Homo-oligomer: A and B are copies of this chain.
């Protein structure tokens, strides 16, 4: 029987969201690199694993593919319930899912939009997936406004909350950490100097061993 496989790329921020999750929970899976530079994600072999042509993808022992980061997390948490990162009670699970999604839609997606509508190598690939879309300069510009607003909203939240979704570390923190590192490197927008609450939080989460994943 073959082991569970995670198809990933070291340079994919979405794959990092899963790698940090695995590290926090001490889950071992077989790690299979997909060479995005060589466009391996567009190969027929990879299309059979994920028709959206994205990493990460989790392939179970029976061959079932699970893609999309929150779906991969859900599967892994149900199979490995210790050290929960999606919450335990119904209320915790709802609140964590809410905060994680806010961070993703307002922050992570904005950074992705900035990068995909700017980088020369992504011309004609402004949205990831199987379809070709041209870059839109006005969208590149708007995405930077969105990232600025994301940082402000996140700092407001962290002024009254230890972690993004409350008192405990969760997937909402994972997405926020990956978003900030991606914004810093990909869009040259680091944490604003005056955002003390975000910096206090970042100093902690970015030094957890899982952050190296």
Contacts and interface: CB of A to CB of B under 8 A. Distances in A.
A101 B71 contact: yes
Contact of A149 (B90, B101, B131, B139): B131
Given A139-B136, A146-B131, A66 B95 contact: yes
Contacts of A106: 52, 129
Nearest to A89: B78
A182 B168 CA distance: 38
Determine how many copies of this chain the complex contains: 2
A168 to B, nearest CB: 15
Given A68-B101, A75-B93, A136 B138 contact: yes
A50 to B, nearest CB: 9
Contact of A133 (B70, B74, B91, B142): B142
A49 to B, nearest CB: 12
A72 B101 CA distance: 12
Contacts of A98: 66-68, 71
Interface string A121-153: 000000101110110101100100110010001
Given A52-B102, A64-B91, 9 more contacts: A52-B106, A66-B94, A70-B97, A78-B90, A131-B149, A133-B142, A133-B146, A134-B142, A136-B136
Interface in A63-86: 64, 66-68, 70-72, 74-75, 78-79
Question: How large, as a class, is the contact surface on chain A?
Answer: 35 or more
Contacts of A31: none
A121 B164 CA distance: 34
A64 B72 CA distance: 27
Contacts of A133: 142, 145-146
Nearest to A62: B91
A52 B90 CA distance: 22
A60 interface: yes
A23 to B, nearest CB: 20
Contacts of A139: 136, 138-139
Given A91-B60, A94-B74, A102 B66 contact: no
